[in-house]
Amino acid sequence: MTETTDALPTEALEVLRRTFGYDAFRGEQGDIIDTVIGGGDALVLMPTGGGKSLCYQIPSLVRSGVGVVISPLIALMQDQVDALTALGVRAGFLNSTQDFEQRREVEQAFLSGELDLLYLAPERLRVEATTRLLDQGKIALFAIDEAHCVSQWGHDFRPDYLMLSELHERWPDVPRIALTATATEATHQEIATRLNLTDAKHFVASFDRPNIHYRIVPKDNPQRQLLDLLRTEHPGDAGIVYCLSRNSVEKTAAFLTQNGIEAVPYHAGLDSRVRSRNQSRFLREDGLVVVATIAFGMGIDKPDVRFVAHLDLPKSVEGYYQETGRAGRDGLPSTAWLAYGLQDVVQQRKMIDTSEGDLAHRRRLSAHLDAMLALCETVSCRRSQLLAYFGQHGDACGNCDTCNTPPESWDGTIPAQKLLSTIYRLQHERNQKFGAGQVIDILLGKETEKVRQFRHEQLSVFGIGTELKDTEWRGVIRQLLAQRFLTVEGDYGTLVLTDDSAEVLGRRREVMMRREPERTKSKSRSSSG
């Protein structure tokens, strides 16, 4: 190497080795870091575990001044700062958890040039005192972490992020780097627009996580199904189990513990000391299972999480990808397992219908749910479908359930017509709406008390669907929901026709369906489906 070559990459590499103890950059890290050190803006899409942090930490150390990192993950700032301090990097943070004295200390350190990195919660920038403070110091760069939070179409919008467009106006000479681990093509573009990253270089890594095995199964008895999975495939492994409600978090953790699997709960309703104890046990101990609401895991860097299990349907593909991405950061084989059933769809539709926010917001939530359902009911490779959702392409992967045990697809047009016309008749002849259970009983011709009460045995469709079993009809309903030929509404999950139903009823559309491959059944009775 000659002495006149640009010193920048060398200096970055020096810092990588000396401060962080790594030999070489990974993927596009080197290029990203060069761009920012050179004063350019960057937009980085990289999956969880890809190594985003170094992309702003190293430029912060190489450029003069303080790297200001904007992050919504307030709970993690202390950990991040501690980890950096241990490496000899001078770091501090400002957020709402601090008292006046703690804040003043950090501000002093910032002003006197004693910091390399300053972590800021986005809402801090709303405070005039903060922007004045930043004006008085020297800023090396702005890093905008979790940049997808600026997107109103994304799954994790945070209004405070919208203000970040002003960074460039106020500090036009400071380079900015925006980073995210989840963004569809539309969100990607929206980040660039909303943050005014007009001249930024875009770095888009592959979102594929080849070591993660994806599997989605119909929900039967979810706790029992989970236990089977852990016993047969992950004995003694560390993992995360996600549930939607605090109540089911508690129950599932207790159930696993009773069955000899060490598990602890984690949700926002727990005492903060219990929460942080459970979190640090998870980080430190081998083979602990954390049962959590989605609040758990953001930014947690545990390399050997061997499985992520969902007992409830995630609200969006982005969320699913982000949560499953916490498995297997060390690159070793790991499992992403999800159990879902009709009841999930009913519950989520209800949450959408009753959610605050305008019609556009509810439409957004609906579109997210539809995409998630489509992933669940796909007959092709899960990974390809997942990547396609993020605008990337891949061949059938050989490491997901649909690749390993291809589900048959079958022509479900006739059952679909039978089901939809039952709903049509209830609605138009009787002015009634019912949930899946009653509609299936009618199709099967079951003379239950409720059937007699409503004289449903007199309907012409009574008993016309005996060629399928109860569980198969549930599968038909799930798939009609996923294909939007049907929807659910209200507290009881009543089935309602959509604008597209007419196409099936009028025989203008074929409906292809997925037949669940035979799996070993658990002994217990089904509870939901």
Contact stretch for Zn ion (CB under 5 A) within 53-61, 115-123, 400-408, 492-500: 400-408
Contact stretch for ligand ADP (CB under 6 A) within 51-59, 120-128, 239-247, 437-445: 51-59
Neighbours of 453 (CB within 10 A): 8
HEC-encoded secondary structure of 288-317: CEEEECCCCCCCCCCCCCCEEEECCCCCCH
Give the C-alpha separation, 504 to 426, whole Å: 17
Nearer to ligand ADP, 27 or 357 (CB): 27
Contact stretch for Zn ion (CB under 5 A) within 116-124, 183-191, 376-384, 439-447: 376-384
Contacts of 187 (CB under 8 A, 6+ apart): 148, 151, 153, 154, 180, 318
410 forms part of the interface with ligand ADP (CB under 6 A): no
30 forms part of the interface with ligand ADP (CB under 6 A): no
103 forms part of the interface with ligand ADP (CB under 6 A): no
Touching ligand ADP, residues 292-321 (CB under 6 A): 301
Residue 29 binds which of Zn ion, ligand ADP, none (CB < 5-8 A, kind-dependent): ligand ADP
Nearer to ligand ADP, 53 or 184 (CB): 53
Residue 301 binds which of Zn ion, ligand ADP, none (CB < 5-8 A, kind-dependent): ligand ADP
Contact stretch for ligand ADP (CB under 6 A) within 44-52, 128-136, 461-469, 509-517: 44-52
Tally of residues, the chain: 529
Nearer to ligand ADP, 17 or 170 (CB): 17
- Residues forming a β-bridge with 489: 494
Residue 133 CB-half CA count within 13 A: 23
Q: Which residue has the tokens 């030999």?
A: 23
- Residues forming a β-bridge with 411: 512
What amino acid is encoded at 494 in this protein? T
48 forms part of the interface with ligand ADP (CB under 6 A): yes
Give the C-alpha separation, 30 to 27, whole Å: 8
Give the C-alpha separation, 489 to 208, whole Å: 35
403 forms part of the interface with Zn ion (CB under 5 A): yes
Count residues binding Zn ion (CB under 5 A). 5
Smallest gap from Cβ 30 to ligand ADP, in A, equals 9
Going residue by residue from 124 to 143, which x/- string records binding to ligand ADP, judged by CB under 6 A?
--------------------
The crossing angle, in degrees rounded to 10, of helices 436-444 and 470-482 is 130
Smallest gap from Cβ 46 to ligand ADP, in A, equals 5
311 forms part of the interface with Zn ion (CB under 5 A): no
Contacts of 71 (CB under 8 A, 6+ apart): 77, 119, 120, 121, 122, 145, 146
Q: How is residue 162 annotated by DSSP?
A: G
Residue 50 binds which of Zn ion, ligand ADP, none (CB < 5-8 A, kind-dependent): ligand ADP
Residue 48 binds which of Zn ion, ligand ADP, none (CB < 5-8 A, kind-dependent): ligand ADP
Q: Which of 244, 285, 319 is nearest to 264 (CA)?
A: 285
Nearer to ligand ADP, 29 or 335 (CB): 29
Count residues binding ligand ADP (CB under 6 A). 13
Sole binder of Zn ion in the list 215, 326, 383, 418 (CB under 5 A)? 383
Contact stretch for ligand ADP (CB under 6 A) within 47-55, 306-314, 331-339, 408-416: 47-55
HEC-encoded secondary structure of 51-105: CCHHHHHHHHHHCCCEEEEECCCHHHHHHHHHHHHHCCCCEEEECCCCCHHHHHH
Q: How is residue 406 annotated by DSSP?
A: P
Sole binder of ligand ADP in the list 29, 151, 184, 335 (CB under 6 A)? 29
Give the C-alpha separation, 135 to 518, whole Å: 64
Cα–Cα distances (Å) from 521 to 219, 220, 233, 399, 517, in that order, read: 11, 9, 16, 22, 11
Going residue by residue from 276 to 295, which x/- string records binding to ligand ADP, judged by CB under 6 A?
--------------------
Smallest gap from Cβ 11 to ligand ADP, in A, equals 16
Contact stretch for ligand ADP (CB under 6 A) within 23-31, 286-294, 393-401, 497-505: 23-31
400 forms part of the interface with Zn ion (CB under 5 A): yes
Nearer to Zn ion, 28 or 401 (CB): 401
Q: Which of 309, 215, 311 is nearest to 519 (CA)?
A: 215
Residue 400 binds which of Zn ion, ligand ADP, none (CB < 5-8 A, kind-dependent): Zn ion
195 forms part of the interface with Zn ion (CB under 5 A): no
26 forms part of the interface with ligand ADP (CB under 6 A): yes
Name the phi and psi angles at 185, rounded to 5: -55, -40
- Summarize as ranges the residues that interact with ligand ADP (CB under 6 A): 22, 25-26, 29, 46, 48-54, 301
